[in-house]
Every structure is written in C-alpha cells, then in structure tokens.
C-alpha cells in the first residue's frame, strides 16, 4: 500500500511524503504508483516554477518521496491543496492501494 502524508505546520501545508508500493501491479507496471509519482513530480515542478526552493528526497528502491518547502505561502498552499485533491481521487478509485494522512508537525 502507498501511504501519502501531507505535512502541516501552524495550519499551513509545507510538504508531503509518499511511501511504499501500492501493490496494484508489479513495480514498473503499477498505474497507481505511476499516478502518485507523477502528481508528486508535477507539484514539485509547479512549486519551482513559482519560485519556491523545494527540498526533495527520493529513494526509488524504497518507493519513497519526501518533498518540502522552507517558506510556505498562499501559492504553495494552493499547490499542496491541489496535490491533496489529486491524491483523494486516486484513493477513492483505489482504496486498497492508497491511504492519505494529514499530519500537523
């Protein structure tokens, strides 16, 4: 199962992590993992396009992605909110393969 955790501090999103293979299909053939990975990549690219310094750590073997911004603002909040909406659509379609958490840290 893929676990996606959106991270908040002081009520504002500042990052997310995604961990684990969804188990829908073999690694490299899994549409759920591909959808989550592409949404993460798109969020990263959007944040960078809007001038945010994005910290990304990825480990393909462990199927982990960690992404954060140092100075969250209204733009990053919108990007993370859109990422969350996309993750909820994936979770709705594949509830046995994706779970979402929102964590205040």
Task: Give the position of tokens 């910290």.
Answer: 55
Query: Using one digit for the tens of pLDDT, what is the confidence trace for 29-46?
Result: 889 999 999 999 999 999
Dihedral sign for Cα 13, 84, 64, 103, please. Answer: positive
The domain locations on the chain are 2-104
Which stretches does DSSP call E strand in 1-105? 2-9, 12-19, 54-59, 64-69, 98-104
Model confidence over 54-83: pLDDT tens digits?
A: 999 999 888 899 999 999 999 999 999 999
Q: Residue 99: its pLDDT value, please?
A: 97
* 8-state DSSP, 13: E
- The rounded distance, in Å, linking the Cα atoms of 13 and 11 is 7
CATH classification for the domain delimited by 2-104, as one of 3.30.365.10, 3.30.70.1490, 3.40.50.1390, 3.40.30.10? 3.30.70.1490
12: which residues sit within 8 A by CB, 6+ positions away?
72, 77
């Amino acid at each position: 199962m893929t676990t996606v955790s959106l991270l908040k501090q002081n009520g504002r999103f500042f990052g997310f992590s995604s961990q684990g293979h969804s188990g829908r299909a073999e690694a490299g053939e899994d549409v759920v993992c591909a959808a989550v990975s592409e949404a993460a990549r798109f969020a990263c690219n959007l944040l960078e396009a809007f001038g945010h310094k994005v910290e990304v750590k990825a480990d393909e073997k462990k199927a982990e992605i960690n992404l954060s911004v140092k100075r969250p603002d209204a733009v990053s909040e919108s990007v993370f909110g859109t990422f969350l909406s996309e993750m909820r659509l994936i979770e709705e379609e594949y509830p046995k393969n994706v779970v979402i958490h929102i964590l205040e840290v």
